[in-house]
Amino acid sequence: MPKKYHIPVKPAEPRFHPIGKYATVEFREDCAGSCRQCVKKRCVYNIFNENVLHMAAMEEPEYLYTCQSCFRCIQECTRGIFSRAINPDYRTLGDDYWRAELIHRLWYQAHTGQIPVSGAGYRGPFVAPGFDSMWTDMSEIVRPTRDGIHGREYISTCFELSRRVTPLRFNDDMSIASELPTILEVPLPLLLRLPSDLVANENIRLTTAQSAKILGTFMFVAADDITPALEPYADFLIPSLTIENYKNHGEKVRRSRAVEVAFAAGIEPVLAEIRSLNAEAPIVVRVPLDDRAAERTCLLARADVDTVTLHADDHGNELGTESPRFIKDLIREVHLKLVEGGLRQQVNLVFSGGIAMAEHVAKAIICGADGVEADTALMLALECHLCGRCRESLSCPVELDAGIDAAWGSQRIVNLMGAWQSQLIELMGAMGIREVRRLRGEVGRSMWFEDLEKENFGPIFGERVVPGP
C-alpha cells in the first residue's frame, strides 16, 4: 500500500482582524461583575480571548470573527445583558455568488485548516441555483469505509495529468506490449491557478508556488511570469503558453513536467512541436467553456492531448452567451460527449470557475471531471475581501499589493486545501468509495433538484417555465 498522503495543516493567524459576522452588544451597566463563571469564560470556541482588549480600547460593538452561532452566551448569561446583531460591514463582503458567508468560511479554513462547523446548524436554502441544486447521495452504501480523516483505511485522492493507454496490449507471456507513457500523478484532484483580474504580483506567485510544492500538486503560471525566484519550484509549475509565444520558451518546455497551451485555431502543429521538445511531458490545452467546448475537447482527445482544462467565468457561468448555463451542466455535457465518442478514457478533464467550496470539488467530479482548479479561493485564503479595489488600481485593504510573507501565505493556502481534502475524504468514506477516480461521473451518487422536481411534480403541475433574461 502506498504511503498515506498527508497535508501538514497548522494555524496561520490572520494579519488583519477579519470582518466578523456578529457584533456583541452588551448592556454593561447591568453586569453583576462578580460571576465566577462568566459565560464568556465558558465559550466553547474561545472567541472572547481578546475581550479585555476591546473593553480597554472602548471599542463598541465587539466584532466576533470565529463565532459559530451557538448563542450559548446569550442564553446562559444570568443577567441577560448579551444580544447579537449582524455586522453591517459583513453584509458588504463579496457578491451574489461569492457570498459573505462563503468568504467567512474560507477565511476560517485558511486560518485553522479545519472543517467549518456551525453551532446553529445549516440555515441556508434547501435548494438554490448552481451546485446548490445538486446533493450527494449516500443511500447506496454497501459498507462505509472506516477512514474518514482518521487514517484506519486508505482512501486515495490521486488523479493523473498524463494520457492513459487504452486498450493495453500484452505479449504471449503476459508482459505489456503497449508503449507506456510516463505517468504524471497528482495526489490531490486540485490544481492551483491565480485569477488574472485580482492582485497577482511576484510575491503572491511565489507564495502559491510554495503551496504547490508542499501539497505535491501543480500551479499553472504564465510562462512570461516564471522568474528566477520561482525556479526552485519548477517541478511544481506548469508554464502556460500561447501559439504566439511558445517559441520564446523552449527551455522552459524542455524542463517542465507538463506544459499548457491556450486553445486557438491551428493548434495541432504547435502541439507536435512542443511534443518534439519534451516527449515525456503531458500536454495540457486550455479551452473556454462555451457552446463549442465539448466539440473542441473531442478534437483534442483525438489529437492525443493528455489533459484539457476548461474554464468558466469566476461565478461558474458559461462564456460567450447572454443566457449562460452553470458549470455543473457544462461538465456533464463535455463528459458525456466524450463517452459517446468512445474517447473519455483517453483524456483527463480539469474544470475551473466558481469552485468555491469543498463540496464543489466532489460535485464537479461526480458530474464528470477528473479534477478542478482553485483560483479565486486562493486569494480569499490570503485574506482578500473581493472588494474589487485592485481592479480599479486602488490600494488593497489587506495590503496584498504591498507584499506578504510567503511562508505565512503558503500555509494559509495549504490549510484551505487540507480542509477541502478532509471534507472530500469524509464524503467518499460515507459513500464507501476508496478511490476518487471511481467517483468520476458517478451521478448515481447524487440527486439533482431539476430531475426530482420533474419526476415528482411534473405529472401534476407540468413542466417549470423559466423566464427569459
pLDDT tens digit string along 405-462?
Answer: 999 999 999 999 999 999 999 899 888 888 999 999 999 999 999 888 888 888 888 8
Please tell me the total count of domains within the chain. 2
Residue 389 in any domain: the answer is: yes
Domain that holds residue 52: 22-92
84 and 198 share one domain: no
429 and 343 share one domain: yes
* β-sheet bridge partners, residue 441: none
What average pLDDT does range 242-264 have in this prediction?
95
69 and 183 share one domain: no
Read off the C-alpha cell for 289: 467553456
Distances (CA, A) of 405 to 203, 206, 296, 401: 8, 10, 41, 12
pLDDT above 80 (res 236): yes
Mean pLDDT estimate for the chain? 89
Q: Which long-range contacts (CB under 8 A, 24 or more apart) does 227-232 make?
A: 227/202, 229/202, 230/205, 230/206
334 and 187 share one domain: yes
Find how far residue 257's CA is from the centre of its chain.
Answer: 23
Residue 136 in any domain: the answer is: no
Residue 399 in any domain: the answer is: yes
384 and 284 share one domain: yes
409 and 310 share one domain: yes
Of the candidate ranges 62-66, 261-265, 296-300, the one whose mean pLDDT is the lowest = 62-66
292 and 187 share one domain: yes
Which one has a higher pLDDT value, 234 or 51? 234
323 and 437 share one domain: yes
Residue 280 in any domain: the answer is: yes
* Sign, Cα dihedral of 420, 424, 429, 435: negative
Q: Does the model's pTM come out above 0.85?
A: yes
Under the banding of pLDDT at 50, 70 and 90, the label for residue 37 is confident
Question: Of all residues in the chain, what percent carry a pLDDT higher than 90?
Answer: 59
